[in-house]
Amino acid sequence: MKNILVTGGAGFIGANFAIYMVQKYPAYNIIVYDKLTYAGNMDNLLEISDEPNYHFEKGDICDSPRVNKVIEQYKIDTIVNFAAETHVDRSILDPEAFVKTGVYGTYVLLEAAKQYGLERYHQISTDEVYGDIPEGQSSVEDDPLRPRSPYAASKASADLMVQAYHVTYGLPTTISRCSNNIGPYQYLEKVIPLFTTNALEDKPLPVYGDGRQQREYQHVLDHCRAIDLVLHKGAIGEIYNMGTGIEVENMRMIEILLDTLGKPRSLIRHVTDRPGHDRRYSLNFDKIRALGWEPEISPEEAIASTVRWYADNEWWWRKIKEGEFQSYYEVQYGARLGSEK
């Protein structure tokens, strides 16, 4: 492994991963390939923009000739695919891009990996492919996939295509399924950046339904360490869950968030729920534990440090909040919040 194509690397997790790899492995070349959709942001990569082992190429993973050209140009031997449309609420409003990028785009990358005989194709997946998990249960890697939103279905479809390329063509693949990542550079549509920046502006926090849904909020750096481990020590053809083992109710997450900022509970608004809202995800991650990985940052610490990062980095989020995000916010929350927006 020497020349790694990080697709979707201008987004939240991809950028954190690119920064982590550029800094940890000076002998590797990290080539970020990103379409720069509304979620892609070159500010996310500023920390490494002058590093000699970092390169950026703008492009769509659905564009096969462009993908092939970049693979040839940089002698790519490994693809780590983060590129996707990633927000459940947007997938409910308009699923088309989710199918295009998630399913067709993954196919294009797999074909390229096959054609160029790459050493490894790694797919970044999600706990959402397992669907809503009842209390007392946790998902293991070979559980059936029961996605319930168009987003989750696009991710599950991609995973199945990756598995098919491994079985049919012997492509050296791995897949990782993480829980809800949080940390610096997450687009404002996701719950923690949205609620933190709203609270900083003394605006209401729109909690879907009763807020008793549970998520495994995971610090993005723990996730990056886990991907690094799977790239170096993971077994070909395998899937690895990467969780925290600690489910946190949204209402508890909000308490930590507000307390970190010293903002009042009166900002909380319960609004109309998300259709088909999964109440709970829970990952069993014994398999990656056996490779030697444990989460190092507790969910409470992860939430508080993430909230502090947004409080300290208004330069990063202010321009997003004043751009495309405004029209999305109106569509998603206008009726839910009425005149309170």
Query: Which residues of the shown chain bind ligand TYD in the complex (CB under 6 A)?
Result: 88, 180, 190-191, 194, 206-208, 213, 215, 250
Residue 126 in the binding site for ligand NAD (CB under 6 A): yes
Taking the C-alpha atoms of residue 244 and residue 223, their distance in angstroms, rounded to an integer, is 10
Residue 299 in the binding site for ligand NAD (CB under 6 A): no
Select the residue interacting with ligand NAD from 3, 60, 91, 205 (CB under 6 A): 60
Taking the C-alpha atoms of residue 11 and residue 164, their distance in angstroms, rounded to an integer, is 27
Select the residue interacting with ligand NAD from 36, 42, 268, 311 (CB under 6 A): 36
Residue 45 in the binding site for ligand NAD (CB under 6 A): no
Chosen from ligand TYD, ligand NAD, none, partner binding at 150 (C-beta under 5 to 8 Å by type): none
Chosen from ligand NAD, ligand TYD, none, partner binding at 55 (C-beta under 5 to 8 Å by type): none
CB of 316 to ligand NAD, least distance (A): 13
The amino acid occupying position 241 is N
Beta-strand runs (E) in the chain: 3-7, 29-34, 54-58, 78-81, 120-126, 173-178, 181-182, 205-208, 214-215, 218-219, 239-242, 248-249, 268-271
Q: Is 132 a catalytic residue?
A: no
Neighbours of 201 (CB within 10 A): 9
Residue 11 in the binding site for ligand NAD (CB under 6 A): yes
* Helix, strand, coil share (%) of the chain residues, nearest 5: 45, 15, 35
Chosen from ligand TYD, ligand NAD, none, partner binding at 40 (C-beta under 5 to 8 Å by type): ligand NAD
Nearer to ligand TYD, 59 or 211 (CB): 211
Neighbours of 26 (CB within 10 A): 10
DSSP state of 128: G
Residue 35 in the binding site for ligand NAD (CB under 6 A): yes
Whether 126 contacts 147, CB under 8 Å: no
Whether 84 contacts 126, CB under 8 Å: no
Select the residue interacting with ligand NAD from 10, 156, 258, 302 (CB under 6 A): 10
For the chain, how far is it from start to end, CA to CA, in angstroms?
Answer: 49
Taking CB under 6 A as the binding criterion, the range among 48-56, 60-68, 255-263, 303-311 that sits at the site for ligand NAD is 60-68
Question: In Å, what is the CA distance from 27 to each residue of 4, 30, 208, 305?
Answer: 11, 10, 46, 31
Residue 121 in the binding site for ligand NAD (CB under 6 A): no
Taking CB under 6 A as the binding criterion, the range among 19-27, 55-63, 264-272, 315-323 that sits at the site for ligand NAD is 55-63
Q: Which of 107, 108, 86, 111 is nearest to 98 (CA)?
A: 86
Residue 124 in the binding site for ligand NAD (CB under 6 A): yes
Binding site for ligand NAD (CB under 6 A): 7-8, 10-14, 34-37, 39-40, 60-62, 82-86, 101, 105, 124, 126, 155, 178, 180-181, 187
